[in-house]
Amino acid sequence: MSASYRAGVQEHLPSATITFDEFHVVQLLTKAVDEVRRAEVKQLPELKRSRYLWLKDKRQQILQHADLSRMNLKTHRATRIKSLREIFQTAHSAEEAEALLNKWYSWARRCRLEPN
């Protein structure tokens, strides 16, 4: 997924379509969620020792944790970005995937979270 990988594909296989797999895309999103959490924990010490909940996508446990579910956390919004995984799991056609991806992308841009 690096620029050098894409450049190599373009150079050696100019007709190839570049595809990014679910695992690596979700891995990048998980890193972004952790960066948001790390920045937010500096202002909200209540988030300490909650890393596992956010990174392992334990939404039900987060909702059950009263202190976290009542706070308007950037970290909580960031975990919603990981809903991109659902596109990989639910789309039955390229057209459906494209529509879902456009909807997800629109929301992800509007959520105004760093890192981009």
110, burial (CB in 10 Å: exposed 0-12, middle 13-18, buried 19+): exposed
Q: Is residue 116 part of a domain?
A: no
Residue range 83-102, pLDDT digits in tens: 788 888 888 898 998 899 89
Print the domain residue range for 65: 21-110
Give the Å distances, CA to CA, from 83 to 5, 42, 90, 99.
26, 26, 11, 14
Q: Which of 41-45, 49-53, 55-59 has the highest mean pLDDT?
A: 41-45
pTM for the model = 0.63
Domain count across the chain: 1
